Amino acid sequence: MKPELKDGTATVMAHPNIALVKYWGKRDEGLNLPHTGSISVTLSPMKTVTTVTFEAGLEQDEVRLNGTEADAGTLRGTVKVLDLMRGRAGLLTRARVETENSFPTAAGLASSASGYAALAMAAAAAAGLRLSRQELSVFARRGSGSASRSLHGGFVEWRRGELADGSDSCAVALAPAQHWPLKVLVVVVEAGPKPISSREAMKRTVATSPFYPAWLERVEADLPVAREAIETRSLETLGLMAERNCLSMFATMLGAQPPVIYWRPSTLAVLEKVQALRREGLLGFYTMDAGPNVKVLCTAETASTWRTALELIPGVQSVLECEVGGPAERLA
Ligand code: PMV
């Protein structure tokens, strides 16, 4: 045991990600172990920048998010990841954590994904640990499942794993960002916090939805389709699979007791517009996470046409244009 570390500090940037094959449901609540694997694409330029400083003399971890003291949930998750890192490094020193998000927190834009990915990498570096991205993804996973995928750039698979301790439930890179320069338009219809956390919603779905077993089959069928579509850069195959997969996830939530409904009327208006434009020959596909906002997958050539059309839909507040992002990286 080396109980005190002298002021180790590190700053890390990580991008959020959007799942194309979703993670929805845990087989182990404590360890954040998923029932299935999932596949995502990392999104730039949205980002989280986190600085972790282990500071001798601090009595407890101090966590600030966008300049103000973190809420109880964020604090709990952050302390959990820091404790795991301290355990690995043989440290007792408490830490000061400063996090800034470049996009609205808790709007279904996966700020927890970039947040816990940046935290895991910064905490490891500040503690003097040299861990692979795969190892870091296991720490990030404990904060939030989808965070495991934000250590890598490009297209990423979080493997379900088989081991009871979760050490093989980690994220691996499928293809780097340069492999396929797609665009993702984030269509914001509501930027406030969501009515129910994804943690609670997936727990309720697993426990009560009669459609959950069908969801597990859906994902097992979609994973190989997604891997191949990414490898061969087939937007149509990937996009149709992503739409089907996301609608199936929402179907399991509608079957929960009480039902979970994240959509707003303008969510549906966006989905209808995407389908209408596709019928007119503009290639693009939607997906959504646990929130009302929609993400549209399209090529770089069609992105500005898509953007103009999406901005005109009543109820749409803004459209953020993203590209496929790189891996989490240490800035200082
Ligand atoms: O990582 P969590 O606990 O925020 O859950 C994420 C769930 C979805 O965003 C809906 C799907 C996914 O795979 O990211």
Query: How do residues 319-330 score in pLDDT, each as one tens digit?
Result: 999 999 999 999
**Index of the ligand 1 atom closest to the CA of residue 290:** 10
Say whether pLDDT at 228 is over 90.
Answer: yes
Q: Hey, whose CA ends up nearest to atom 6 of ligand 1?
A: 146
On the 0-12 / 13-18 / 19+ scale of CB atoms within 10 A, 104 is: buried
pLDDT of residue 111: 79
What is the 91 CA–ligand 1 centroid distance (Å)?
A: 31
- Nearest-atom number in ligand 1 for the CA of 158 is 13
Q: What is the pLDDT of residue 2?
A: 54
Buried b / exposed e across 124-150, counting CB within 10 Å, b at 16+? bbbbebebebbbbbbbbbbbbbbbbbb
CA of 22, closest atom in ligand 1: 13
Atom of ligand 1 nearest to the CA of 40: 13
Give the pLDDT confidence score for residue 194 in this predicted structure: 81
329-330 and 9-14 beta bridge pairing: antiparallel
CA distances from 296 to 104, 134, 285, 286 (A): 18, 28, 5, 4
Q: What is the CA radius of gyration of the chain?
A: 19
Between the CA of 196 and the centroid of ligand 1 the distance, in Å, is 13
User: Could you tell me the distance, in angstroms and rounded to a whole number, from the CA of residue 65 to the centre of ligand 1?
Assistant: 20
- pLDDT tens-digit map of 47-61: 999 999 999 999 999
Which atom of ligand 1 is least distant from the CA of 23? 13
Rounded distance from Cα 202 to ligand 1 centre (Å): 9
pLDDT in tens, 54-107: 999 999 999 999 999 999 999 999 999 999 999 999 999 999 999 999 976 544
Region 268-285 average pLDDT: 98
Distance CA 154, CA 199 (A): 25
188-214 pLDDT tens trace: 998 777 889 999 999 999 999 999 999
Question: Residue 71 carries which DSSP code?
Answer: P
What distance, in Å, lies between the first and last C-alpha atoms of the chain? 26
Residues in CB range of 30: below 8 A, 6 or more apart: none
Q: Show the CA angle centred on residue 40, arms to residues 144 and 134, nearest 5°.
A: 60
Q: Mind listing the pLDDT tens digit for each residue in 236-272?
A: 999 999 999 999 999 999 999 999 999 999 999 999 9
Mean pLDDT, all residues of the chain:
95
Q: How many other CB atoms sit within 10 Å of the CB of residue 69?
A: 10
Calculate how far, in angstroms, residue 198's C-alpha sits from the geometric centre of ligand 1.
Answer: 6
Mutate to test the pocket of ligand 1, among 17, 18, 20, 24 (most ligand atoms within 8 A of CB): 24
- Measured CA to CA in angstroms, residue 117 lies from 60, 97, 104, 114 at distances of 22, 13, 17, 5
Q: 285 C-alpha vs ligand 1 centroid, how far in Å?
A: 19
Ligand 1 interacting residues, C-beta cut-off 6 A? 19, 22-24, 38, 110, 112, 144-146, 198-199, 289-290
> pLDDT band at residue 185, thresholds of 50, 70 and 90?
very high
Pocket test for ligand 1, best of 15, 17, 20, 23 (most atoms within 8 A of CB): 23
Instruction: Write down the pLDDT at residue 330.
Output: 98
DSSP H stretches of helix in the chain: 72-89, 111-126, 133-143, 198-208, 212-232, 235-254, 265-279, 303-311
- What is the total residue count of the chain? 332
Among 112, 122, 184, residue whose Cα is nearest residue 149: 112
Q: What's residue 192's pLDDT? A: 75
User: Rounded to the nearest whole angstrom, what is the distance from the C-alpha of residue 24 to the centroid of ligand 1?
Assistant: 7
**Distance, CA 122 to ligand 1 centroid (Å)?**
22
pLDDT value at residue 105: 55
- Report the pLDDT value the prediction gives residue 106, as an integer from 0 to 100: 42
Provide the pairing of β-strand 183-188 with 294-298.
Answer: antiparallel
Neighbours of 32 (CB within 10 A): 25
Q: Give pLDDT, residue 210.
A: 98
pLDDT of residue 5: 59
Which mutation among 22, 157, 293 tests ligand 1's pocket best, with the greatest number of atoms within 8 A of CB? 22
CA distances from 151 to 64, 115, 272 (A): 21, 10, 33
- The pTM of the full predicted model, rounded to 2 decimals, is 0.96
Evaluate if residue 4 carries a pLDDT over 70. Answer: no
